[in-house]
Structure 1
Amino acid sequence: MSAFMLPKGMFTLRGQCNEKDRHLLLNFKHTLVDPSTILSDWTRERDCCEWAGVRCDNTTGRVVELSLPCSPESSPPDGCDDEKSHCLTGDLNLSLLQLEFLNYLDLSNNDFQAIVQKGSEDVTNCDNMPFVHHPHSCENSSNLHYLDLSENENLYIDNIHWLSRVSSLKYLSLGGIDLQKEIDWLQLATLLPSLTELHLDGCSLRNINPSLPFVNFTSLEVLDLPFNAFSTQFLPHWLFNLSDLTVVDLRYNHFQGQLPKSLLNLRNIKELLLTDNKLSGLIPGWLGQLEYLQVLGFAGNMFCGPIPSTLGNLSSLIVLDVRSNYLNDSVPESLGQLLKLELLSLGDNHLTGHLTDRIFANLSNLEYLSMGSPGLIFDFHSLWVPPFQLEELILTNMTGPKLPPWIYTQTSLISLEIGSSRISFEPKDKFWGFATQLAKLELHDNWVKGDMSNVLLDNRWIILDSNKFESGLPRLSPNVVLFSASDSSFQGSLSPLLCQKMNGNSQLRYIDLSNNSLSGELTDCWMKWKSLVIVKLSNNNLTGTIPPSLSFLSNLTILQLDKNVLFGKIPFSLKNCQNLQILDLEENKLSGSIPNWIGHNVKVLLLRSNQLSGTIPLRICQLFSLTILDLADNKISGSIPTCLHNMTAMAFPPSSITRMPSFCFTALSDTLVFVDSVMLHAKGQGLIYKKHLQLVRAIDLSSNNMSGTIPPGLFSLNQLQFLNLSHNQFEGNIPREIGGLKQLESLDLASNRLSGEIPPSLAQLTFLGTLNLSFNNFSGKIPSGTQLQGFDPQCYAGNSELCGAPLQKNCTDQQDMEPIEGNNSQGDEFLPSFYIGLGVGFATAFWGVNVAIFFNRNVRHSYFRFLYYIRDELYVTMVLRMNCFRR
C-alpha cells in the first residue's frame, strides 16, 4: 500500500503537461529525500499530469492540485507520533508557489526540514525560459485557495513573509510547525483578505497583540490557535470584532482575566473552546444569549461561583465542559433543558448539594457524562432507568456505600472511570461481570480492597493505578492490550499472571506493575507474551536473575527492571531485543561486564548502582541514537573511550531520530498517550524526566574506578546538558574544548586527580547552573567572569593552589603577573636583564668622568670654570627675582 494518501477524485489525465509547470515540479523534487520512492514516476519521459499526487486542468493541462500528505497508516500500532521514516523529507522548495494555476496544495504530515527557494532563479528569469510566451508566466499563483503544511514538526520556518505571495488563500494550516521566531504572524495573516480558516495549533506562538482593537480578517470564520504560548492579562480585544467567526479554539494557552461582555459580538459563534487557560471570575449568565452556540469548553481554568442557570437557554448546545474549575453551589436543574446535549462534564469542581435523576430525565442524547465533587451527593432513585445510553462515564469523589444502580443499565458503555472514591464494588461478581463488556476500565486513587487473584480481566485497556488492593495480581485474557497497575499495593509472585494458561495468543503490549510489593523471581514465562512493547516492573522486591525468555519479546522498546534485587549477569539473550530503546536496570545487584551487544536503537541506558566491572566497551561509541548514558556507582575501570564523539545524538539538536518511545491507545474518539519517565541523577539530586525526556542529553560515569585523561573528543557532544565524572581517578588537565558544550547545565568533576589551571573557556558556558570541581589538584586563578564567580566556594574546595573569587584566598601580585596560557617565556627574562644593564652603564659613565678630571689638567680646569660659571648665573638670577617680589 502506498505511504501517501491521494485525495478522492484524483485521476490520470492525458493532456499535454505545461513545460513551465514540469520545470517547477522538478525543482521541488530536486531538494527532497523520497525514502518511499513515491515520486519515482516524476520523470521527463512521462507527462507531469500523470505524476503521483498531481492533477491538471482537463482543458489547459496546467497543474491545479498537488496532494502528497504522508499517510499515518504505515505507523506502528503502538506509536503515538506518526513514524516518519517513510515520509518525504529534505527541503521544501517554495518554487511551487509559482505554479500560477495551482489552487490546492497539501504536503501535511511529512518530515520537511527547511524552506528554500533553490532553482527558483531559473524560473523567475523569464529570459532563460524559452517556453515562456507571455509576461505573466513568472508570477506567483493567484489561484491557491488551500495550503496545508501541518504536522511537519521538524520544519524550520523563521518567518512566513512568503505568504504575501499567495493572497488568494482561503484555508491555511501550519499546525505543529514551530513559528516562535515569527512575531508578526498576525499582521501577515491579515494580508490574506479571502482567508476563512486559519489553523496555527501547536506553533509555539507568543505574540497575539491583545491590545490591538481591530484586525483585518474580513472573511475569517474559523480561528484555530490551541497549544501555543500566549500569555496575556485578557483575551485579545480584536477577537470580539470578528463578527463572522463560528469557531474559536484557544485551548491550552495562558490567557488570564475574565470573560468580557464583548464576547456577545460573536453572534454567529458555534464553538467556543477556552480549555486549560488561566481565566477566572464568574461564568457570566449573559452567555445564554449566544443562541447558535453548540460547543462550550471552559475546562481547566479558574472559574468560580455557580454554574449560571441561564446556560439552560442554549437550546443548540451539544457539548458543555466545565470540569476542573472552582465552581461551587448546586448543579442548576435548568441544564435538564439542553435536549441536544451529548457531552456533559462537571467533574473536579467544588459543587455541592444533591444530584438527582430529575436533571437527567430529558437528556436522551447524552453519550458522555463526567461528574463528581467532594461535596456533591449522588441522590438517584434505586429503580431509576436513564433515558440515555452512555458510551463514556466518569465518576469521582463518590462516598456512597455502593455504585449507583443505574450504571448497570448502561449496555452501550465503552469506558468507565472511577477515581478518588471510597465506595464498595460489592457484589464483586456483579461489578467485574459488568466491567467485562467495557473496552476501557480505569479505577484510580480509590480505597478498594478485596482479593483480585481470582478475577479475570477481559478489557482491552485496564488502569488500576494508585489503589489499595493488598492482594495478588488478577489474571488477564488474551484480549488485554494495556494493563497498568502501579502503586496499588499488589503482593505476591508474578507467576500466576505470566504463567497462566491462555486460549489464544496474547495481545498485551503494555504492562506496568511498578511501585508495588511484588516478590519472587521474574519467572521464565515471557515467551507467552511476545506482543509486549513496554515492560515496567520498577521498585518491587523481585529477585533472581534476568530470565532468558525475555529475549522472545522481539518488539520490546522499553524494559524497566530498576530498584529490585536482581543479581547475576545481564544476559546475552537480550541481544535479540533489537528494538530496545530504553533499558533501565539501575539499583540492583547485577555483576559482570557492560554488554558489548547492546542494540544500535538504544537511546537511554541506565545501569547505575550495580556491581558491574571491567571497562566500557567500544560498542558504546556505535550507539548513534544514545542520548542518556548512566553507568555511575559501579566498579568500572579503565579510561573513557576516545570514540565517544561518535554518539551523534548528543551532538545534534533533537529530531525524529531521538524521539522517545511512547504508547498510544485509541478508544472512541480519544487517544491516551503513555510517555515513559525515568529518574536521572543530575544537579546533585534525583530528577524525574517524562514530558521532556527526549530533550535530555546526559553522561554519568561517577563513582567508579576509572582513570586516564579526559579525551577532548568528549566535548564535541555539544548538546550535552549533564556531565558527571566525579569520584574516579582521572588525571591531567580539563581540555579547553570544554567551552564547546554550550548547552551544559551541570558539570561535576569532583574527587579526581585533575590538575592544571581551570580553562577560561569554562566561563563561557552561560547555561551552567551546577558546578563541582572540589578535591582535585587545580591551581592558579579561577578565570574571571560572573559565571564562575557566582558559584559557592565549596565548588572549589580541596584545591589548595586555587585562588581568586569566590574563594577568600587572593592571588599574589606575582601570580597576577604570571603569563597566561600561550605567552612566550622569553618575555619573563627581559626585565631582570634590562635592570642589570642599566646599573652597569651608570657605573661605567660615572667612573669614566671622574678618571678624566683627575688625570687630565686641561679638562680639570675647564670643568671647574664651568662650575663657577653656573654658580654666577644662578646668583644673578636669584637676585633679580627677589627684587621683583619686593616691588
Structure 2
Amino acid sequence: MSINDHKLVRCNEKDKETLSIFKKGINDSYGLISTWSTEKDCCAWKGVSCDNITNRVTKLDLNLDPLRTYFDLKFPTYFKTLTGEINMCILELEFLSYLDLSDNDFDVISFTTIQHNITHASNLIYLDLSNNEHSTLQMDNLDWLSPHSSLKYLNLSGIDLHKVTNWLQAVNTLPSLLELQLSDCKLNNFIINPSIQYLNLSSLITLHLSYNNITSQLPNWFFNLTKDLTYLDLRESNIHGEIPSSLLNLQNLRYLDLSFNKLQGSIPDGISQLPNIQHLDLYRNMLSGSNIPSTLENLSSLNYLSIGRNNFSGRLPNISPMAVFVDLSYNFFSGSIPHSWKNLKDLNYINLWSNKLSGEVLEHLSDWTQLWFVNLGENEFSGIIPIEMTQNYLEVVILRANQFEGTIPAQLFNQTFLSHLDLAHNKLSGSLPECIYNLTKMFTFDTEGNFVGSIELFTKGQDYYIYEINPNRRTIDLSANNLSGEVPLELFQLVQLQTLNLSHNSLIGTIPNTIGGMKNLESLDLSNNKLSGEIPQSMALLNFLGYLNLSCNNFHGKIPIGTQLQSFNVSSYIGNPNLCGAPLNNCTTEEENHKSRGHEDDDSIRESLYLGMGVGFAAGFWGVCGSLFLIRKWRHAYYRFIDGVGDKLCVTLMVKLNSFRRNRAPASEGVMHVADHEMLN
C-alpha cells in the first residue's frame, strides 16, 4: 500500500465493517449509494460523516428525500428510493449520534444478537426510522431502545407497532427524550404496567401520536407525563370519551390537535387557563355545549381555532384579536357576528358554513384586509355585499345559501387571486359586472396558492365535500339568484375555469364562439335562463366537459356535432323547443317537413294569386266589351280609335322599312325617297 493510499483510508476498520454488513441488506439498484463500493475511505461514503479527530463514524443520513424530489421532477416514473432490509447492527457504531433512514421503502427490520448486547454507552441522540406511506415495516417490541438513554429525538412513524403492548414503558426508559413521533404506527392502547410507579418523561416537549387506533379514552394521568409539553398531536386516533381535566396541567402547551376523534362532552371550563395556547384543533368530534364564549375569551394568544363539525350551540365566542384561522363550521351557533370581530386585522381564513347565524355580516369584510378564504354559506345572513373590498389576497369567497341582496359589486371581480366564487342561492339582482376578465388566476395558469381546507364544492350537478381542495381549482357559481341582462363576453375568456354555473336566473344573450377556448371546463350549467341563439360549434372542442345543462332556454338550430356534446343525454337540452340534433330529435326530418310545408304554402299562394288575376281579367274584359256592345257612342268612338291606331302603325312600319333599304343600297337613294313620298301621299 502506497503512502497516498494510506492517507485516503481514514475511517475506523470496525466502523467500516459494520457499515458493510448494513449495506448487504440494502437493495440499491439505482446506485444511490454507489460510493460505498468505489471509495476506500468509508468517511467519504455518501451519507456518512466522521469526526475529524477520532475518524469514527458519528452520523449516517440516508434520507434521500431532497434527491428524490429532484428525480421525481425529472424522471417521475423511474426514480426509486432505497429498499430492502434495515439491519439494526448499525446501532453498534460506538460514536454514532445521528441516524436518519427516513423516507425510503425498506420492508424488513432485522435485529442481531450482537445488537441486543451493546455494552458501550450509547451516544445516539437522533434516531429517525420513519418510512413513507407504502411502508410494510413491523416491530414486535421496543426493548432495543433501553441502551439509548441519551436519545433526544425518536421518530418511528409509519412502522407497524400494533403488537407492541408496552410502548409507554419502552419510551419511559428514555429520560432525555425531547421529541417523540409515533404517528401512523397502529398503536391501540394506553396500557401501563402496574409495576411502573410513574412515567419519567419530564423532558418531553413534542409528542406526535396521530393516525393510530387507540379505541379508548385518554387516561387522566396521560397529561401528567410532563409539564413542559408544548406540542401535542393526537389527531385521528379513534380516541373516545371526554377531554380529561388534567389537560390543564400543560401550562406551556402551545399546540393541541385532537381533531377527527370521537370525543364527547364539553370543552373543559379551565381551558382558558392555558395562557400560551396558540393552536387549538377539535374539528370533527362529538363535542357540545353552549359555553364557548366563557371558555375561549381569555385565550389571548390563540391564532388558530378549529372547532367545526361538532354540536356546539349558543352565540359565537369573543375571539382573540390575534386570530388568523377560524373554523366554526357545521355547528348550531346562532345570532350575529360579535362587533369585536372587526378587530381581527390578521384574519386570513374564516369558515362559518352551516350554522344558524344571521345579521348583516359583510360590513366586517372590508376590515379583514388580510383575508384569502371566506366561507359564510348555509346561514341566514342578510344585507348587501360591500362595495369597498380592500382585500388583495382573496382566493375563495363562498356566500352560498343566505339572504344577501343587491347587485354584485365590480370590485369583487377585481380580485387578482380569486379562484373560487360561490354566490348561489341568494337574492342578488341586476346584471353581471363587465370586468370579469380581471380575475387573473382564472385566466392564466398559476401553480401557486393555498391548499383550501374543508369545503362544499358544487359541480357537475352534484355537491362534494372535499377536505382539502387543490389551490388550482377554479369555480364560479352564481346560480339561483335574480340576475338579469347579458352575460359579459369576458366571462367566456376565463380559460382556466373548470366549473361555471349561471343557472336559474333571467340572463339573456347568446353563447359566444370564444367558449371553445375554455379548454379546462369540466362542468357548465346555463339552464333555466332566457339565453338564445345557436349553440356555437366551438363547444365541441371542450374535451374535459363532464357535465352540461343548457335546458329551459331559447336556444335554436342544430346541436353541433362532436363526440363530447352527443355524449350527454336529453336532459341537458330539453326545454328549448327549436333545438334539434342528437341526442334530441333528428334535425333532417324536421327540416324536410318544414320545407315541404313551405312549398305547399307557396303553391297555395301562387294558385290564389293566379285565380285572382284570372277573375280580375275576366271581370275587366267583360266590363269593357259589354259597354261597347250596349252603348252606341262608345262603340263608334272605339272603331275610330282602332282605325287611327292601325294607320299610325302602318306608316311607322313603312318608314322603318325604307330606312333599312337605304342603308343597304345607297345608289338608289333618290328612287327610295320618291317612293317614300308617293307612299306617304
TM-score (norm 1): 0.53
Query: What CA distance in whole angstroms lies between the structure 1 residues aligned with 2:39 and 2:483?
Result: 66
Kindly report which structure 2 residues correspond to 1:440-839, keeping only aligned pairs within 5 A, or say none.
440-444=231-235, 445-452=237-244, 455-456=247-248, 458=251, 459-474=253-268, 475-476=271-272, 477-493=274-290, 494-500=292-298, 506-523=300-317, 525-526=318-319, 529-601=320-392, 602-654=394-446, 659-660=449-450, 676-688=453-465, 693-812=470-589, 814=591
1:627–1:697: 8 Å Cα contact kept in structure 2?
yes
Q: Work out which of the residue numbers 141, 147, 169 in structure 2 matches 1:355.
A: 141
Q: Deviations over 1:232-280 (max 9, x none)?
A: xxx996x42984489xxxxxxxxxxxxxxx99999954339xxxxxxxx
1:473–1:496: 8 Å Cα contact kept in structure 2?
no
1:717–1:741: 8 Å Cα contact kept in structure 2?
yes
Structure 1 residues 408, 333: closer, same or farther in 2, change over 3 A? Answer: farther
Structure 1 residues 815, 561: closer, same or farther in 2, change over 3 A? Answer: farther
Q: Deviations over 1:156-179 (max 9, x none)?
A: xxxxxxxxxxxxxxxxxxxxxxxx
1:295 equivalent to 2:61? Answer yes
| 1:375 Cα deviation from its structure 2 partner | 3.4
Letter in 1 for 2:372: Q
Partner SS state of residue 588, structure 2 = coil
Q: Give % identity.
A: 33
Q: Deviations over 1:570-601 (max 9, x none)?
A: 24234221111111001112222233233332
1:545–1:568: 8 Å Cα contact kept in structure 2?
yes
Structure 1 residues 642, 415: closer, same or farther in 2, change over 3 A? Answer: same
Structure 1 residues 292, 788: closer, same or farther in 2, change over 3 A? Answer: farther
Other-structure match for 2:98:
318
Query: What CA distance in whole angstroms lies between the structure 1 residues aligned with 2:116 and 2:294?
Result: 49
Other-structure match for 1:367:
153
Query: What CA distance in whole angstroms lies between the structure 1 residues aligned with 2:472 and 2:426?
Result: 26
Other-structure match for 1:868:
none
Letter in 2 for 1:417: H
Query: What CA distance in whole angstroms lies between the structure 1 residues aligned with 2:113 and 2:254?
Result: 37
1:421 equivalent to 2:204? Answer no
2:234–2:259: 8 Å Cα contact kept in structure 1?
yes
| 1:608 Cα deviation from its structure 2 partner | 0.7
Query: What CA distance in whole angstroms lies between the structure 2 residues aligned with 1:682 and 1:333?
Result: 60
| 1:788 Cα deviation from its structure 2 partner | 2.0
1:391 equivalent to 2:193? Answer no
| 1:520 Cα deviation from its structure 2 partner | 0.7
Structure 1 residues 810, 368: closer, same or farther in 2, change over 3 A? Answer: same
2:543–2:564: 8 Å Cα contact kept in structure 1?
yes
Structure 1 residues 679, 702: closer, same or farther in 2, change over 3 A? Answer: same
Partner SS state of residue 435, structure 2 = helix
Partner SS state of residue 368, structure 1 = strand
2:149–2:176: 8 Å Cα contact kept in structure 1?
no
| 1:415 Cα deviation from its structure 2 partner | 0.6
Other-structure match for 2:46:
270
Structure 1 residues 612, 268: closer, same or farther in 2, change over 3 A? Answer: same
Structure 1 residues 713, 298: closer, same or farther in 2, change over 3 A? Answer: closer
Query: What CA distance in whole angstroms lies between the structure 2 residues aligned with 1:266 and 1:759?
Result: 70
| 1:448 Cα deviation from its structure 2 partner | 3.6
Alignment coverage as a number of residue pairs: 527
| 1:692 Cα deviation from its structure 2 partner | 5.6
| 1:699 Cα deviation from its structure 2 partner | 0.8
Structure 1 residues 269, 817: closer, same or farther in 2, change over 3 A? Answer: farther
Greater share of residues in helix: 2
Other-structure match for 2:12:
none
Letter in 2 for 1:394: Q
Letter in 2 for 1:800: P
1:705–1:728: 8 Å Cα contact kept in structure 2?
yes
| 1:623 Cα deviation from its structure 2 partner | 2.8
| 1:406 Cα deviation from its structure 2 partner | 9.2
| 1:630 Cα deviation from its structure 2 partner | 0.4
Structure 1 residues 332, 321: closer, same or farther in 2, change over 3 A? Answer: farther
Query: What CA distance in whole angstroms lies between the structure 1 residues aligned with 2:519 and 2:401?
Result: 29
| 1:723 Cα deviation from its structure 2 partner | 0.7
Q: Deviations over 1:670-702 (max 9, x none)?
A: xxxxx6343321222334556663212221011
Q: Deviations over 1:175-230 (max 9, x none)?
A: xxxxxxxxxxxxxxxxxxxxxxxxxxxxxxxxxxxxxxxxxxxxxxxxxxxxxxxx
Other-structure match for 1:410:
201
Partner SS state of residue 267, structure 2 = coil
Structure 1 residues 270, 746: closer, same or farther in 2, change over 3 A? Answer: same
Instruction: Determine which structure has more spread, i.e. the larger CA radius of gyration.
Output: 2
Letter in 1 for 2:60: Q
1:345 equivalent to 2:129? Answer yes
Letter in 2 for 1:519: S
Q: Deviations over 1:391-419 (max 9, x none)?
A: 21134433445357598323332211224
| 1:807 Cα deviation from its structure 2 partner | 3.4
Query: What CA distance in whole angstroms lies between the structure 2 residues aligned with 1:298 and 1:642?
Result: 51
Letter in 2 for 1:613: E
Structure 1 residues 356, 582: closer, same or farther in 2, change over 3 A? Answer: closer
Structure 1 residues 677, 568: closer, same or farther in 2, change over 3 A? Answer: same
Larger mean Cα displacement after TM superposition, 335-344 or 608-617 = 335-344
Query: What CA distance in whole angstroms lies between the structure 1 residues aligned with 2:218 and 2:168?
Result: 19
Query: What CA distance in whole angstroms lies between the structure 2 residues aligned with 1:369 and 1:242?
Result: 23
| 1:379 Cα deviation from its structure 2 partner | 3.5
Structure 1 residues 569, 482: closer, same or farther in 2, change over 3 A? Answer: same
| 1:562 Cα deviation from its structure 2 partner | 0.7
Letter in 1 for 2:539: L
Structure 1 residues 310, 437: closer, same or farther in 2, change over 3 A? Answer: closer
Partner SS state of residue 262, structure 2 = coil
1:369–1:390: 8 Å Cα contact kept in structure 2?
no
Query: What CA distance in whole angstroms lies between the structure 2 residues aligned with 1:391 and 1:731?
Result: 66
Query: What CA distance in whole angstroms lies between the structure 2 residues aligned with 1:544 and 1:437?
Result: 39
2:283–2:307: 8 Å Cα contact kept in structure 1?
yes
Structure 1 residues 383, 325: closer, same or farther in 2, change over 3 A? Answer: closer
| 1:334 Cα deviation from its structure 2 partner | 5.8
Structure 1 residues 436, 809: closer, same or farther in 2, change over 3 A? Answer: farther
| 1:811 Cα deviation from its structure 2 partner | 2.9
Letter in 1 for 2:388: W
| 1:553 Cα deviation from its structure 2 partner | 0.6
Structure 1 residues 600, 351: closer, same or farther in 2, change over 3 A? Answer: closer
Q: Deviations over 1:747-766 (max 9, x none)?
A: 11122222221011222233
1:633–1:704: 8 Å Cα contact kept in structure 2?
yes
Computed over aligned residues only, the root mean square deviation of the Cα atoms, in angstroms, reads 4.1
